[in-house]
Structure 1
C-alpha cells in the first residue's frame, strides 16, 4: 500500500482553516449590514468589496491545499484524486475571475460550479476497486460505503444551495457556507482514514 506522507495532513487540515478563517475575518472587516446568511462567500472577494484581499487569500489557500492533498493522498484511486485536484484548480479560477460588483461573471459562475461538483463527487471515486492485501474485505467495503455516503450528503447540500441560488432564497449564504465547509473537511477525513489504515496495517503485519 502506498504511504500517505505526513505533509498531506497539513494540506488537508489547512483547507478548512483557510476557508472558514478567511470568511470569518473578511466578514468582520465588512461595514455594518453584511449578512452571511443571505450573502455569498464570493461577495467577500468580489471586485470592489471592502478588504477583498482577505477572502481572496482564503480561497487561494483553499485551492492550493486541495491540490497538495490530491498529490499526497496516494492511497486513493486516481479518479478520486483527479477530481479533488480539479476542485482545487477550479477554486483558483474562481479567485482569478472574481464576482463582478453588478453580478457574476460567466467564468466565475462556471468555475464555482465545477469546484462544487468535483469536490462533492470525488469521495465516491477515491476508494480503489481492489483492496490492498493488508486490508480486510469488510474494512474496504466500509470505506467504500463511507465514500458514497459522503458524496451523497455533499450532493444533497449542493441541491439545497442550488434551490436557494436559483430562487434568490433567504438562506443562500448559509447554504453555500455549509456546502463549502463540508467539502473542505472531506479531504481531511480521507487523509486521517488513510493514515489510520496505515497504522493498522503496520501493527498487523508480520514481525
Structure 2
C-alpha cells in the first residue's frame, strides 16, 4: 500500500512553518533597534519602508506556495479541505504582493490577510473524512477541534488588534499554528498508510 501523501507534500508542509518562523525571525533582526516582535505585526516586516523587507516578502510567497503544493499532494483529505488550503496559500502570497504602505490604509492587504487567516483556520474541518478509521488528523473530532483552536487563535489576534497590546505575539501564535497543521496532517496520513501496509 503506497502512502496517500507523496514525499514532496511532506517537504512542502515541513518547509512552510520553517520558512515562516525563520523569515520573521531573520527579518526582525534586520530592523532598527527597538523593534518588538511581540507588538509589531508580521506584515510590518514586509511593509514599504521596512529594512530588508524582501526577506519577509519572499518568506510569505514561499509559505503560500508551500500550502498550495501541500494541498495538491494531500489526497487523503477531502477535496473541499484541499481547495480551501490552497486558497489560504494563495491569499498568503497576496499578502506579500500587496504590502502595507508607509502611511494610509491598505484594503487589498487587509482583505488578503483576512482570507488567509480564515481559510487556513477553517480548512481542517473541511478536510476531514467521515466514516471509517482514516488518519487520526483527518478524523472529524480531531479536524473540527483543530479548526476551533486555529480560529480561536485568529479571534484572539483580531481582538488584540482592535484594542492594542501584544499584537505581534497573537499574530505569530495564530500564523505559526496554522503553518504547522498541514505538516501534522501529512505526517498522520503517511503514518496511517505505512501502518496499513504493515498490517496487510
Q: TM class by shorter-chain length?
A: over 0.9
List alignment gaps of at least 5 residues for structure 1.
none
Alignment partner, residue 152 of structure 2: 156
Residue 9 to residue 102, structure 1, CA distance change in 2 (3 Å):
same
- Measure the CA separation in 2 of the matches of 1:99 and 1:30: 16
- 1:15-43 CA distance string (max 9 Å, x none): 00110000000001111011111100000
TM-score normalised according to structure 1 size: 0.91
TM-score normalised according to structure 2 size: 0.95
In terms of Rg, which structure is larger? 1
User: What is the root-mean-square deviation in Å for CA atoms of aligned residues?
Assistant: 1.7
Q: What SS does structure 2 have at the residue aligned with 1:198?
A: helix
CA-CA distance at 1:144 after TM superposition: 1.8
- 1:89-138 CA distance string (max 9 Å, x none): 0011111100111144101000000000000000111122344xxx47xx
Q: What is the correspondence of 1:162-201 to structure 2 with a 5 Å cutoff?
A: 162-167=158-163, 169-201=164-196
Q: How many residues are aligned here?
A: 199
Q: What is the correspondence of 1:10-159 to structure 2 with a 5 Å cutoff?
A: 10-131=11-132, 135=133, 143-159=139-155
Q: What SS does structure 2 have at the residue aligned with 1:99?
A: coil
Runs of 4+ that moved beyond 6 A: 139-142
Q: What SS does structure 2 have at the residue aligned with 1:183?
A: helix
CA contact 2:129–2:139 (8 Å) conserved in 1: no
List alignment gaps of at least 5 residues for structure 2.
none
